[in-house]
């Protein structure tokens, strides 16, 4: 059976499950729309010296479903972009985000399920463009499916026992990217509600991953915490881990520990700062969030052991809230953008050191967002370390009840130690006008400039796009 047919069958199974859940949901809502776009590009193949212009037509039906019931919930957002590009690797570009949960036995047994289809850059050091309309043989559709039954048993306020099994299956449309699957089991015993100041717990965690990045990870931890008052608490844990994966280290096992302090002066502000140690070195952590009526600031830092399949499984196909936490339409009407820009899809386990920063200010008619991310991946197999950076700024303003304008800038940099360095700048400007209650017309201009140590990977592209979106 072909890979594409497998994808179709898996997607059909997901939609069949969605219909089943929707039938039993007490409250069911849906929205539908379609977007028609004409796109002109002066460099369809993102070539360094042989630019080819092209006029591309896309049509994108969009669907958003939400069902809520007493024991079952489902959220599904989907888009299918169809294009007539002569150079695109595929004329059909799907995007899907679906999450569902059901309570099998009251207050005891539950099942969570999710499915995502995202579009990703394979190698950040080669051109890929902003979407899949340019054929560079450097993009893939990632199909990720996950099923997770779990149980919770409470012991009269003294303790709470939880167990969760998770099966994840991931495949890619590009044959150069290997498929993967994983099984994970977590068993934990934690304090019950009778413990208000002192907290305690113990956890057993096991994960077995197959595919090109095969690994087996097992760990046990015991934790203890104390809450001084409403604002301050401290936590600590210690344990041991046993790991099997391809590495140049002499030993992957060892003692692990961490301590952290949590400060929550109000419901709008939280700070978690900590430090720990594992077999690969120190593991500092930072997680800070401050929210006001019109703004949101967040910063995070982590250093963890992971792989490409795990990072891909954590991606969301659609953003259902903006940076300020306000609900937005998950279907934008724009061509489906590539999701991943902060890591390469590569074989093997690596230590991912990542820092992220974001600030959003929202006014009555205007909004401003700035952000940055910096990631260093150190591969256990000895592959050359990679650094990926991204900086972005965007602003929008409502000029009238029917007219909106937006501006954007994104700078990304990829660096491979002693090998290659690439910088890409993207500028965009858009003007949108409402046409009646349920329709919108938008004109967008983008300019992309990429510079690389490898001149064959340099390119510039001007793109002009006119889109019409209407609700159905």
Residue-level pLDDT at 121: 83
- Give CA separation, 338 vs 91, 95, 341, 396, in Å: 16, 10, 8, 22
Residue-level pLDDT at 323: 46
pLDDT for residue 330 is more than 70: no
Give CA–CA dist 390/386, Å, rounded: 14
Per-residue pLDDT of 51-64, as tens digits, reads 889 999 999 999 88
Position 93 confidence tier, pLDDT thresholds 50, 70, 90: confident
Q: Who has greater pLDDT, 337 or 358?
A: 358
Residue-level pLDDT at 84: 87
Give CA–CA dist 65/319, Å, rounded: 15
pLDDT for residue 407 is more than 80: yes
Residue-level pLDDT at 401: 92
pLDDT for residue 18 is more than 50: no
Give CA–CA dist 98/75, Å, rounded: 6
Per-residue pLDDT of 63-72, as tens digits, reads 888 888 888 9
Highest-pLDDT range among 11-20, 21-30, 113-122, 367-376 = 367-376
Give CA–CA dist 3/231, Å, rounded: 53
Cβ pair 170, 140 in contact under 8 A: no
Specify the pTM: 0.86
Residue-level pLDDT at 305: 93
Position 189 confidence tier, pLDDT thresholds 50, 70, 90: very high
Residue-level pLDDT at 177: 81
- Give CA separation, 222 vs 28, 138, 188, 232, 242, in Å: 43, 44, 10, 21, 16
Q: Which of 6-15, 51-60, 147-156, 256-265 has the lowest mean pLDDT?
A: 6-15
Q: Who has greater pLDDT, 86 or 292?
A: 292
Which one, of 63, 76, 62, 61, lies nearest residue 25 by Cα? 76
pLDDT for residue 332 is more than 70: no
Mean pLDDT of all residues in 436-462: 90
Query: How is residue 281 written in tokens?
Result: 């070195």
Residue-level pLDDT at 301: 98
pLDDT for residue 133 is more than 90: no
Mean pLDDT of all residues in 27-50: 89
Position 5 confidence tier, pLDDT thresholds 50, 70, 90: very low
pLDDT for residue 17 is more than 60: no
Q: Which of 112-116, 129-133, 151-155, 192-196 has the lowest mean pLDDT?
A: 129-133
Residue-level pLDDT at 253: 94
Residue-level pLDDT at 329: 54
Residue-level pLDDT at 324: 45
The DSSP secondary-structure symbol of 251 reads -
Which one, of 300, 246, 307, 303, lies nearest residue 272 by Cα? 300
Task: List the domain range (segments joined by +) for residue 302.
Answer: 3-471
Give CA–CA dist 342/362, Å, rounded: 26
pLDDT for residue 331 is more than 70: no
Give CA–CA dist 452/285, Å, rounded: 33
Residue-level pLDDT at 15: 47
Per-residue pLDDT of 412-425, as tens digits, reads 998 887 677 889 99
| DSSP β-ladder status, 285-291 and 281-282 | unpaired
Computed over every residue of the chain, the mean pLDDT equals 87
User: E-assigned strands of 251-320?
Assistant: 254-266, 269-278, 281-282, 285-291, 295-307
Query: How is residue 361 written in tokens?
Result: 């200010």
Kind plus residue range of the DSSP H or E element containing 313: helix 308-313
Q: Which of 9-13, 259-263, 300-304 has the lowest mean pLDDT?
A: 9-13
Contacts 24+ apart (CB under 8 A), 248-254: 248/380, 248/381, 248/382, 249/279, 249/280, 249/380, 251/279, 252/279, 253/279, 254/278, 254/279
Burial 410-436, CB ≥16 within 10 A → b, else e: bebbbbbeeebebebbbebebebeeee
Per-residue pLDDT of 270-329, as tens digits, reads 999 999 999 999 999 999 999 999 999 999 999 999 988 888 888 877 765 544 444 455
Report the CATH number at residue 463: 2.40.170
pLDDT for residue 14 is more than 60: no
Residue-level pLDDT at 184: 96
Mean pLDDT of all residues in 429-438: 91
pLDDT for residue 388 is more than 70: yes
Tally of domains in the chain:
1
């Amino acid at each position: 059976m072909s890979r594409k047919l497998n994808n179709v069958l898996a997607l059909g199974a997901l939609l069949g499950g969605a219909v089943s859940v929707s039938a039993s949901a007490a409250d069911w809502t849906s929205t539908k729309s379609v977007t028609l776009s004409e796109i002109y590009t002066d460099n369809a193949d993102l070539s360094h010296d042989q630019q080819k212009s092209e006029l591309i037509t896309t049509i994108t039906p969009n669907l958003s479903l939400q069902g809520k019931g007493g024991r079952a919930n489902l959220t599904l957002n989907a888009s299918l972009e169809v294009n007539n590009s002569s150079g695109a690797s595929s004329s059909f570009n799907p995007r899907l985000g679906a999450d569902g949960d059901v309570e099998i036995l009251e207050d005891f047994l539950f099942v969570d399920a999710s499915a995502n289809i995202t579009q990703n850059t394979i190698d950040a050091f080669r051109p890929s463009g902003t979407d899949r309309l340019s054929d560079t043989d450097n993009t893939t559709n990632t199909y990720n499916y996950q099923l997770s039954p779990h149980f919770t048993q409470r012991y009269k306020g003294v303790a709470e026992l939880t167990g969760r099994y998770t099966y994840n299956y991931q495949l890619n449309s590009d044959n150069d990217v290997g498929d993967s699957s994983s099984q994970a089991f977590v068993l934990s015993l934690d304090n019950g509600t009778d413990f208000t100041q002192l907290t305690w717990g113990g956890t057993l965690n096991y994960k077995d991953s197959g595919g090109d990045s095969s690994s087996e990870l097992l760990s046990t931890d015991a934790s203890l915490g104390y809450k001084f008052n409403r604002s301050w608490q401290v936590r600590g844990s210690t344990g041991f881990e046993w790991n099997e994966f391809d590495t140049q280290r002499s030993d992957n096992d060892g003692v692990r520990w961490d301590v952290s302090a949590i400060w929550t002066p109000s419901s709008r502000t939280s700070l978690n700062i900590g430090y720990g140690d594992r077999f690969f070195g120190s593991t500092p952590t930072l997680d800070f969030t401050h929210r006001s009526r019109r703004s949101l600031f967040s910063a995070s830092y982590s250093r963890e052991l992971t792989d490409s399949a795990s990072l891909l499984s954590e991606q969301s196909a659609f953003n259902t809230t903006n940076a300020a936490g306000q609900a937005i339409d998950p279907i934008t009407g724009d061509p489906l953008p590539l999701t991943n820009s902060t890591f390469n899809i590569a074989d093997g386990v690596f230590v991912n050191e990542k820092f992220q920063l974001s600030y959003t200010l929202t006014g009555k008619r205007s909004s401003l967002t700035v952000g940055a991310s910096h990631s260093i991946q150190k591969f256990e197999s000895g592959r050359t370390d990679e650094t990926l950076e991204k900086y972005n700024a965007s602003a929008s303003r409502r000029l009238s009840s029917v007219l909106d304008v937006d501006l954007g800038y994104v700078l990304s940099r990829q660096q491979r130690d002693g090998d290659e360095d690439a910088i890409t700048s993207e500028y965009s400007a858009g003007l949108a006008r409402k046409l009646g209650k349920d329709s919108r017309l938008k004109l967008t201009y983008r300019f992309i400039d990429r510079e690389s140590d490898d001149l064959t990977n340099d390119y510039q592209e001007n793109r002009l796009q006119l889109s019409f979106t209407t609700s159905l």
